[in-house]
Structure 1
Amino acid sequence: MRLALPRFELALRLALREMRGGLSGFYIFLACIALGTGAIAAVNSVSKAITSAITTQGQTLLAGDVRFELNNREASPDELAYLKSLGQVAVSTGVRSMARLPDGSQQALVEVKAVDGAYPLYGTVTTDPQQPLDTLLAKQDDHYGALAAPVLIERLGLKPGDEILLGNIKLRLHATLATEPDALSEGFGFAPRMMVSREALKASGLIQTGSLVEHSYKIKLDNPVTRAGVIAAANKQFPSAGWSARTSDRASPSLTENVERFSQFLTLVGLTALIVGGVGVANAVRAFLDAKRTTIATFKCLGAPAMVVTLIYLMQILLIGSVGIIFGLALGAAAPFAATAFLKDVLPLPAEATIYPSALVLAALFGLITTFAFAILPLGHAREVPATALFREQSFDQSRLPPWPYLLAGGVALAALAALAIFSAEDHFIASIFLAAVAGAFVLLRLVAAGIAALARRSPRVNSPALRLAIGNIHRPGALTPSVVLSLGLGLALLVTLALIDGNLRRQLSGEIANKAPNFFFVDIQGSEREGFLKTVQQYSPQGVVTQVPMLRGRILAFNGTDVTKMNVPQGGRWVLRGDRGITYDEKVPSNSRVVEGSWWPADYTGEPLVSFSAQEARELGLKIGDTVTVNVLGRNITAKIANFRQIEWQSLSINFVMVFSPNTFRGAPHAWLATLKDPGATAAQEGAILKAVTNAYPTITSVRVKDALDIVGQLVAQLATAIRAAAAIALVASVLVLAGALASGNRARTHDAVILKTLGGTRTMLMRAFSYEYMILGFATAIFALVAGAVSAWYVVARLMRMQATFLPDVAVGTVVGALILTVGIGLAGTWRILGQKAAPVLREL
């Protein structure tokens, strides 16, 4: 121990003394580390800002301390009395319906929110012009007041003071609805918001038996300290209520989960950029040590132990890496401030941005471990080189493996990097798959590089001097082939993967899904309206196919008697348990699905309640035939046995349900009907006529034009694609930096080669042509790998994770690869052109 400490101090002193010369030669190293670290720090800092804002602003986002939600029924007198005993209660009701102009010329789907006089308990409703909410929603003469979102006003060509029809009532638009405090906590809506009073909604006739209505009871607790136990106490008091509840510390769990999952994806992309940058670190370290040959030889000749020499340069590399990490952390720390400026109108963010130490510490760990993992192997090579070889101007031999302690240290560092990525991720499985793919790509790319070199070594002699020189450069000792193939391969494979995922999503939304989907969904059809509704639709679409099914809403409470809130449910199956689900009953197997396990019940079945469950969701929830499912429907708990599993074609967007019950389960239960219209030959004018006829004849029926819904989803996908492209750009920049680093590390050898060849008669143009051939060959081979690896990765994401049909899009994939190669190889050739311009005499004097 006494001997080790002086050695460490000596190494540190020599390392600091040698660094007085500055960071020359390490700028690409710094850029690689700063880029990857900054990406991870920025993504996690913004994610922390959003999730912390959801927690700290929970009362405003929820518009209460706690919220209870009931579907298709209002709270009973006893339930309402209990809720009122907890504190002040504000009641709101949400329903989708059709708003239309008085002359029936235009109509639009709206998300109606009916509120009482206590709303909002927290936060403020912003309107234009700004007036008290009670005044804006009050009834004047025979018109109820209304507020509308700007999109709806633009769509229907409205202005303040205009009349709108909703159901069976007339509304007067008094102002534009700018913001509502609890909009984010209520989830994503496919239609613009319209706000009215609860009295107006009751008069509209939209709330009927079986209507899809959501009643929310927001409570401002008399004693907010008791918030944590309120839900458990309420469920104990009313075990069959069937309400879903959340407190203000979990105001928007869906948004929180989506933010965390998307930030995980971007973090993994940033980690890929950092790993790609790690190749640049290895190149920079190799070039740095190659430039320090004489110094290393001097240390060894003066009796410095190999360990001291290794420590000197390891310390220098870690110190320089720390500088890059600090730059990256500065970018990450600034990200929440930038997000506050650009995203404050879209997502909940703190009123005043701050720094999130945990996000920065995580990014710093990624940066440090990556620096060490990729620097230790070149250091191992340098340790084994004798002083005599160094004085003879020989470079390090990279063909041999470094000593086993260095291999072990590198392996442990990479394992620590993988463990940190997995355990810091929201979904451990996805992170594991991602890292396994990166590791596999590393191995394959090393094999690709070895294969290219072997083919170049065995290639027949060609007549072109430039091509012959290019082939020799690929396989000669110290060739750039491994570094270039590795850096370009990872970057291009990631770019192809992201481009194909984006292309498949757009193709599905605009092509296959749109072609398979029905033209319309019609919701809240009452039993007395079914016949007249059918005649109206067939009048305007005689060739169309109308499908009608009974529709109820129910929330899953338990599997096999176990409360689902106490179960550890896998990520993929959580959506089934989140809120209420549409359910139905049927005597026959529904279309667009088939029984894959178990058997269907007979048409005249009268036994215990049975249910058919979606096969995919059942697997994710761990269910099997014979298990029981307890569902709350209209305030009653119903337990049914799983009779069979169905394979469902969700992509068709036809009427499909996770759960289909035997008809005897809901015999006599009040419900509405759901219908679809599919008419592939219908024109836009015909669809407009159908929408207008149904809305005017049956104002309480909600008509959803599927094309409009797909357009909204397409806009969301486009916004996500922007973020994905930004992440891909980071990977591309990392590849460019690594390529530049690889060229820089080989500059000395290339300069000597170029000078000798020019002395022997070679021209600068011929040499440039030779380097162009070399990069084209490497780029072509790497592009083939990127196309195959990217296609497989995109298929896995689209087909396995998104459960959509995956298709290889050659135009997207090839266009992405060609564009990226032109950029990266162009930058590489620009650097090479500078090398070829150096004078011969100074170089020849060093040989």
Structure 2
Amino acid sequence: MASSDLPHAEEARRAVPKHAARRSRSFAPNVIFRLAARELRAGVQGFVVFLLCLALGVAAIAGVGSLARGLTEGLAREGRTILGGDAAFALLHREATPEERAVLTAKGQVAEVATLRAMARTAGGDAALVELKAVDGGWPMVGQAALEPAVPLSDALANRDGRFGAAVDPALLARFGLKPGDRLSVGSIEVELRASLTREPDRLSEGVGFGPRMLVSNEALKASGLIQPGSLVRWSYRVALPAAASDDAAVRRLVADVEREAKDAGFNATSRFNAAPQLERNVGRFTQFLTIVGLAALVVGGVGVANAVAAFVERKRDTIATLKSLGASGGTVFLIHLVEVSALGALGVAIGLAIGAALPFAAAGVIGSVLPLPIEPALYPRELGLALAYGALTALAFAVWPLGRAHDVPVAALFRDQVAPERRFPRPAYAIATFALAAALCGLAVYAAYDRRIATVFVVAAAGTFVALRVVAWGIMRLAARAPKPRATELRLALANVHRPGALTPSVVLSLGLGLVLLVTLTLIDSSIRRQLTNELPTKAPSFFFLDIPSAERDAFAALIRDKAPGATLESVPMLRGSFSSIKGKAIDEVSVDPEYRWALRGDRGVTFADDVPEGSRVAEGEWWAPGHTGDVLVSFDQRLGKALGLSVGDEISVNVLGRDIHAKVANFREIAWETLGINFFMVFSPNAFAGAPYMNLATLSFPDGGTDAQEFALMREATRAFPAITAIRVKDALTSITTVVENLAFAIRVASGVTLLASVLVLAGALAAGHRRRVYEAVILKTLGATRGRLIRAFAAEYALLGLVTAGFGLAVGSLAAWGVTTEIMKIEFAFDPLGAGAAALAALVVTIALGLIGTWRVLGEKPARHLRNL
């Protein structure tokens, strides 16, 4: 017995009655805790990876959850400022009628805001898309707009000497090389740029735009000629309650009263409680993804926990045998070491919680001044409690199995020549406890998720990958055992090390494989998105989208295009906007919809009407209506959306368009090739749906050879000069903006995924360290028999290379399959295999395995045989 075990054994001996030698009995609880505490005084040697893995995963989950909660609380705290009032009531295409406006003004102070996209033009003919915002004298009712130079907003927007003023985003000034005092044309008027807009209090509530902001007065907008029947203008009426009557209940009453008193208006109501709903949904989705990454890190770290506990039990075999020889039962031995492991797990979880809790404060201090989102740093018990539960369940789920094997360590382990073989699997009670804890961990992951469907997919995929890696490890060992013996001694030794009892194969394959699968998956998803944005879409997509083409000017606009861009293809369709009122006779709030498609019921959707099936789609179910149809109003649905809404051919829907409910019967479902970016709509109505209704047209223009930048800019100048009210969106510019966003998200995802990869490396290092004792034994015997250091290095390198190569191949295959599933089934884009990126990930895994293995082996080879031979 090792000398360090003697105090522990002496404590146990005093705790056991004299007759304990005759029969095994359990120790009293106070003795169990006292023995565990004495054992822990020796420190955390061998548990460094255990602590780091738990701390890393818990910190990721607690930090992400706390930061997301800080953002959500910040949005709630600043909801009134973000929204520009206590509630907002929006209309599309049209202003509120005097009667509707009277309903709002009776409730409190009202500010009117109109937003649309328009073209800003310089005197030289250069044009750029801007997000135009027109406000009245009451804006902003809450918060302050910051201008540079600091002039009063009313002066910056006023009509002075027959010319309206404007405040613009500094990016627009930089793009055209302008300065305050210069002029730009918008629609049919020329405005003077009197200031740059450096802060816009309610910008977050209006979502992300494609162009820089231009702020003008409502009078300027009405004079611009941009407002035409059917123009894509969003009118928002912000209502601020009196300070004495603006509590939460009053705000809810305000929304309910307006929806009741103006039920036919078709208002899209938003309150300060959900001032930026799209942003909050995106925060929730991104939080779930990062939480899943943290869970992946914890699962990988769980392998490290299991390895550390197994190594701990191996080191304490003599102590366990001594306790049993003094009368301790197997259950008592298990409890003593469970208390020790639980205490160390609590330490690791506490470290992770401390780091995670500090993350919102660090974020607010470091990036709070530049982040356009309000952060409310605080200690959030729910998020920290959730991370605590994840960490505790992970530690126990992965520790109980190896600890259960301590139950059956025989007293014969005290003897050098062990006569009783080690039990391979723990008793059924410990196996059941392990599976119960794992099930609880999976259940918590699904229950606490923002999107439970995605969480369920992750849990199933993680469990499947875990089992598959165990099967791979078992297969490697069986193949190595049955493989022909190589003539080279080093290779023969490497093969033997792969399949011998106590081999590192399961630990290395698990720790490396889990991290590699995630890395390959994210790499290939990223490459697929990039290829779609940079290669596929630019070749398939049109060069321009033209919005708000008045029907009276459609032919003249088409003639200009034919003259200035001969050979280009111009396609145009009518376009309106509408929101769902009911589906199959049920109000929208009562409709049960797949969460993935719930977005379709929020806000406005583009609609059109046509006699013929649109280009880029085909009827998959049902029949298309005959040209000139005059019967019931019919509608054609995108097949995926229609089925997600629970619709069948013949069902009825109601859509509010231009303040009027259009009731229609589903005639058919279409398959739509959205990836071409051609003109297509989720809903296409029969033409009799909008007989006599005012509408604008949407058009696309495609050059036969894709078009050059010079061609596109020249055409945009000519089109916007001749038709100033028409908005031109250059697809290449839009794709550039989207690519920038995707790159930023990809960078954030890579950083977050680095947590899992770091956990994988830690677990791999821990697995190799856990095998140090056996490696020393092997090295001593082989060196005694004449093996040289170089030969041993080659043997160990061959072993690690074999394990790394097989695991890299598995990670490459499974990661590619997972990326294919995500891109084709969830993102609905074409999967693009990137051999360079995926191969680099696999090669990196191979190099890390060999490098870490040889670093640990180098210490083994430095051991002197004599010191160890004395103890054999």
Tell me, yes or no, whether TM beats 0.5. Answer: yes
For residue 85 of structure 1, what is the amino acid of its counterpart? A
Point out the more displaced range, 236-245 or 687-696.
Answer: 236-245
**Given that residues 540 and 686 in structure 1 are in contact (C-alpha distance below 8 angstroms), is that contact kept between their aligned partners in structure 2?**
no
2:139: which partner in 1? Answer: 119
Equivalent position of 2:734 in the other structure: 709
Alignment of 1:595-634 (within 5 A): 595-634=619-658
Aligned to 2:287: 263
Task: Report if aligned partners of 1:98, 1:699 keep a CA contact under 8 Å in 2.
Answer: yes
User: 1:694-741, CA deviations, whole angstroms, 9 ceiling, x for partnerless residues?
Assistant: 011111100000010011110110011011101221111111111111
Say if 1:735 and 1:824, in contact at 8 Å, map to a contact too: no
Q: How does 1:241-256 map to 2 (within 5 A)?
A: 241-256=265-280
Task: Decide which of 178, 182, 200 is 2:202's aligned counterpart.
Answer: 182
Return the offset for 1:448: 0.5
Bigger mean CA offset, 613-622 vs 414-423: 613-622
Q: Which residue of 2 aligns with 1:55?
A: 76
Cα displacement (A) at 1:233? 2.1
Contact 1:297 1:391 (8 Å CA) reproduced: no
Mark the CA change 1:38 to 1:391 in structure 2 (over 3 Å): closer, same or farther: farther
Q: Which residue of 1 aligns with 2:827?
A: 802
Matching of residues 375-774 of structure 1 within 5 Å: 375-392=399-416, 400-681=424-705, 682-774=707-799
Counterpart Cα distance in 2 of 1:396 and 1:493: 40
How far off is 1:528 after superposition? 2.1
Equivalents in 2 of 1:404, 1:16: separation in Å? 28
Indicate how the Cα distance of structure 1 residues 332 and 398 shifts in structure 2: closer, same or farther if over 3 A, else same.
farther
Q: State yes or no: 1:224 paired with 2:246.
A: yes
Determine the structure 1 residue equivalent to 2:184. 164
The CA distance in 2 between the partners of 1:308 and 1:399, in whole Å, is 18
Give me the whole-angstrom Cα distance separating, in 2, the residues matched to 1:546 and 1:397: 81
Change (3 A) 1:399 1:641: farther
Q: What do residues 355-385 of structure 1 show as CA deviations (whole Å, max 9, x unaligned)?
A: 2121111111111111101111111112111
* Code of the aligned partner of 1:37: V
Question: Measured at CA, do residues 129 and 62 of structure 1 come closer, stay the same or move farther in structure 2, by a change above 3 Å?
Answer: same
Query: Aligned pair 1:102/2:123, yes or no?
Result: yes
Other structure's SS at 2:106 match: helix
TM-superposition CA deviations, 1:248-277 (whole Å, max 9, x none): 011111111111111111111110110111
Partner secondary structure for residue 80 of structure 1: helix
What residue in structure 1 maps to residue 107 of structure 2? Answer: 86
8 Å contact from structure 1 (residues 611, 642) kept in 2: yes
* Matching of residues 763-842 of structure 1 within 5 Å: 763-842=788-867
CA drift at 1:7: 2.8
**Of 585-594 and 387-396, the range deviating more from structure 2:** 387-396
Other structure's SS at 2:116 match: strand
Give 2:373's aligned residue.
348
The residue type paired with residue 843 of structure 1 is H
Stretch deviating more after TM superposition (397-406 or 710-719): 397-406
Alignment of 1:369-380 (within 5 A): 369-380=393-404
Q: Deviations 1:750-773 (Å, cap 9, x if unpaired)? A: 011011111222122211111111
CA change 1:743–1:688 in 2 (3 A) is same
> C-alpha displacement at 1:145, in angstroms?
1.1
Task: Give the equivalent residue in structure 1 for 2:87.
Answer: 66
Q: 1:680, CA displacement in angstroms? A: 4.2
Which residue in 1 is equivalent to 2:15? Answer: none
> Which whole-Å CA distance do the structure 2 matches of 1:215 and 1:7 have between them?
75
Contact 2:320–2:409 (Cα < 8 Å) also in 1: no
Which is further off, 34-43 or 235-244? 235-244
**Is the contact between residue 545 and residue 679 of structure 1 (CA under 8 Å) also seen in structure 2?**
yes
- 1:846 is aligned to 871
TM-fit CA distance, 1:103: 2.4
Deviates more, 1:826-835 or 1:355-364: 826-835
Shift of 1:231: 2.3
Give me the whole-angstrom Cα distance separating, in 1, the residues matched to 2:256 and 2:414. Answer: 74
Does the CA contact (< 8 Å) of 1:8 and 1:308 recur in 2?
no
Q: Which residue of 2 is the match for residue 40 of structure 1?
A: 61
Q: Distance in 2 between matches of 1:185 and 1:821?
A: 48
How far residue 397 of structure 1 moved from its aligned partner, in angstroms, is 6.7
CA deviation string 1:599-657 (max 9, x = no partner): 11100210111111111111211111111111111111111111111111111111111
Q: Residues 130 and 212 of structure 2 are in contact (CA less than 8 Å); yes or no, is this contact kept in structure 1?
A: yes
Of 175-184 and 65-74, the range deviating more from structure 2: 175-184
Distance in 2 between the 1:37 and 1:390 partners? 39
Among 214, 219, 224, the residue aligned to 2:234: 214
1:819 CA displacement: 2.1
Q: Give per-residue Cα distances to partners, 1:776-796, cap 9 Å, x unaligned.
A: 111111111111111111111
Report the AA paired with residue 793 of structure 2.
M
User: Offset of 1:391 from its aligned partner?
Assistant: 3.6
CA drift of 1:343 comes to: 4.9
Name the SS of the counterpart of 1:797 in structure 2.
helix
1:102: Cα distance to partner?
1.6
Question: Aligned match of 1:365 in 370, 389, 397?
Answer: 389
Please say if residues 91 and 216 of structure 1, whose CA atoms lie closer than 8 Å, have aligned partners that are also in contact.
Answer: yes
From 306, 310, 318, give the equivalent of 2:342: 318
SS of residue paired to 1:86: coil
Tell me the amino acid that sits aligned with residue 816 of structure 2. A
Once the 2 structures are TM-superposed, how far is the Cα of residue 469 of structure 1 from its aligned partner? 0.8
Q: Indicate how the Cα distance of structure 1 residues 505 and 729 shifts in structure 2: closer, same or farther if over 3 A, else same.
A: same
Kept after mapping to 1: 8 A contact 2:91/2:266: yes
What is the rounded CA distance, in whole Å, between the counterparts of 1:561 and 1:395 in structure 2? Answer: 78
Q: Deviations over 1:417-439 (max 9, x none)?
A: 00000000011111011110010
Distance 1:232 1:758 in 2: 85
Residues 120 and 185 in structure 2, CA contact (< 8 A), matched pair in contact too: yes
SS of aligned partner of 1:275? helix
Q: Supply the RMSD in Å over aligned alpha carbons.
A: 1.6
Residues 736 and 427 (structure 1), Cα distance of their counterparts in 2 relative to 1, 3 Å cut:
same
Q: CA deviation at 1:70?
A: 0.2
Q: 2:317 — aligned with what?
A: 293
Q: 1:1-54, CA deviations, whole angstroms, 9 ceiling, x for partnerless residues? A: xx9996322211110111111111111110111111111111111111111111
SS at match of 2:240: strand
**Per-residue Cα deviation, 1:121-178 (whole angstroms, up to 9, x for no partner):** 1111122222221121112113211111122111111111111111111111111111
- Give the stretch that moved more between structures: 198-207 or 287-296: 287-296
Listed one character per residue, the Cα deviations across residues 438-459 of structure 1 (whole Å, up to 9, x for unaligned) are: 1011111111111111111111
- Bigger shift: 612-621 or 833-842? 833-842
Residue ranges of structure 2 left out of the alignment (5+ in a row)? 1-23
Deviation of 1:829 after TM superposition, in Å, equals 2.0
Residues 622 and 5 of structure 1, relative CA distance in 2, 3 Å threshold: farther
1:284 aligned partner: 308
Q: Deviations over 1:526-545 (max 9, x none)?
A: 12221221122222321211
Q: Where does residue 275 of structure 1 map in the other structure?
A: 299
SS of equivalent residue, structure 1 residue 756: helix
- Three-state SS of the structure 2 residue aligned to 1:91 is strand
